[in-house]
Structure 1
Amino acid sequence: MSSPPFVSVLVAAVGDDVDLPAVLPPLPAEVEVVLVVDGRAPAGLLAEARALRPGLVTVTQTRRGPGNALACGLRAARGDVVVLLAADGSSDPATIPRLVGALTAGADLARASRFLTGGGSEDLALVREIGDDLLNLVANLAFRTRASDFSSGYVAFWRDLAPVLDLPDVAVPAPFDGHLLPGDGPEVTALVASRFAASGARVVEVPTVERRRRHGGRRLTARARALRVVGAERRRVLRRRRGDRTLHRALVARPPRLVQDLINAT
């Protein structure tokens, strides 16, 4: 790409740890558009956000959960590159130029890593670090990757690759029982990492320093959810591969006049 890519930043204002005043003012010049998905944010927060960032685009999510917020935001996003920025103020905006630079250098997805040289965290307890190490080990074995920070949700990717995520359709109504659809919940961070890894996309990591959050607390159950997602996505990959082999054997075994019928049936 000869000219700089058009960069949209997507912030999902979901949960009780939203801190938009810490997120919006320091965004670098590379950012063209900021989209904030309103996940029932506290009253007055979006008005404050618009005052901090003229031209802010707000999106109302169709169901509950950060996964649905991401899907709604991606549907409204424009331009070349989408950067997912945490609404709690923990993502250092100074990392955005490095993420975009990794994409323009050939990556499909760029991930901000706390564990590369030059990275770090102001809010990393020992138990979280152990959980991250375990997740990295399991995910790298599952997808044959070399991720240093698989649990990081601070990523940038080319917008036209969003279909890789295969998130639930935003038009589908919420379940009557009040439960979230699979992919609508907080497991979406692991889902994004897993589906890009499973797709064979080129993933590049850049160092970042995670900032301390001023509101909310870290949820240790997130790593357990992420491990379940990795396991499910690994099984999904294996099922797809078995299906491909089954189709190949069927094509070889069937008479030539039936080959086209079989292809059409799949």
Structure 2
Amino acid sequence: MSERIDLTERLEGAGLRGLAPSDAPTPETLSFLDPAWRHVPIPRVSVVMPTLNEAPNLAHVIPQIPNWVHEVIVVDGRSTDGTVEVARQLRRDVRVVLESKRGKGAALRAGFACATGDIIVTIDADGSMNPNEMILLVGALLAGADFAKGSRFIEGGGSTDLSTFRALGNWGLTTSVRLLYGCRFSDLCYGYMAFWRRWTPLFDGETDGFEIETVLCVRALQHGLKIAEVASREAERVHGVSNLRAIPDGWRVLRTILRERVAPNSSRAASA
């Protein structure tokens, strides 16, 4: 079952009344603002960012990643436009993983495997996701969630990139998951997510494409993780053309929803 997170309410509960999400505190400052937070260990955050020929977009993403992030892992699918070199110029401590398999799923799984933080955040490299919203996802985990995901369809969220056709497809797929898994998701096909790294064994598999986002969500549901949705505003990609193919990738997502619902979940024991 998913939970809608009202960040303002959470901040007020932590003694931070009056702050808006846009000026929410960083993890380093939380322990000094209210006695209730003084003994809360500050988690390390690993950001995993898949890339494939995203060099022009990285300048809009990497500099905005908060300084409190423990590490940025760029998983590159053998770009030919200098993506790796640009990433290293923009952030000297960036970790680069070269992934021979094509696909977002393969890239994310490679990034999860080498992450060293307590929390993993996934973000796209095209400039459509605002790195400053990362604190909302991390805050949801600190507030008690196991898995947090961005939503463009709850109050405070939105998108300037989503076509009517893709919005209808997302609605249909989201509704399918709600009916089959008994959840309250408002936005299935959106990849801005965060979860505690200890849950990564639950997401093992051979999923290589965009359907990886669905796998993460439905396995979190299957294993009874506490899931929170937080509002996110999606912008248009800054440069280039998306690798997403609405009909073929939508079909793969639907097959994944059905397969995960009926297949024996071999990783269920890992959560016991």
Please report the TM-score for the alignment, with normalisation by the length of structure 1. Answer: 0.79
Q: Retained in 2: the 8 A contact 1:165–1:195?
A: yes
- Higher mean Cα deviation, 123-132 or 215-224? 215-224
2:210 aligned with 1:186: yes
| Other structure's SS at 2:219 match | helix
Larger radius of gyration: 1
Q: 2:54, 2:75 → 1: CA distance?
A: 14
Instruction: Provide runs of 4+ in structure 1 moved above 4 Å.
Output: 15-18
- What is the CA distance between 1:219 and its match in structure 2? 2.6
In structure 1, the residue matched to 2:123 is 85
- What is the CA distance between 1:196 and its match in structure 2? 1.3
1:12 to 35, 50, 65: 50
In structure 2, the residue matched to 1:200 is 224
- What is the CA distance between 1:93 and its match in structure 2? 0.8
The 3 A distance-change label for structure 1 pair 82 and 198 is same
Matched letter for residue 83 of structure 2: L
- Higher mean Cα deviation, 81-90 or 218-227? 218-227
In structure 1, the residue matched to 2:138 is 100
Provide the identity percentage. Answer: 38
- How far does the alpha carbon of each residue in 1:117-159 deviate from its partner, in whole angstroms, 9 at most, with x for none? 0000011111111111111110011111100111111100001
Q: Retained in 1: the 8 A contact 2:149–2:192?
A: yes
Gaps in structure 2 of 5+ consecutive residues: 1-38
In structure 1, the residue matched to 2:14 is none
Please report the TM-score for the alignment, with normalisation by the length of structure 2. Answer: 0.78
In structure 2, the residue matched to 1:235 is 262
Q: 1:223, 1:211 → 2: CA distance?
A: 21
- How far does the alpha carbon of each residue in 1:136-193 deviate from its partner, in whole angstroms, 9 at most, with x for none? 110011111100111111100001110010223xxxxxxxxxxxxxx12222121111
In structure 2, the residue matched to 1:25 is 63
RMSD: 2.1
Equivalent residue runs for 1:58-207 within 5 Å? 58-168=96-206, 183-207=207-231
Q: Retained in 2: the 8 A contact 1:17–1:88?
A: no
In structure 2, the residue matched to 1:252 is none
- What is the CA distance between 1:240 and its match in structure 2? 5.4
In structure 1, the residue matched to 2:22 is none
Q: Retained in 2: the 8 A contact 1:11–1:37?
A: yes
The 3 A distance-change label for structure 1 pair 195 and 18 is farther
Matched letter for residue 148 of structure 2: A
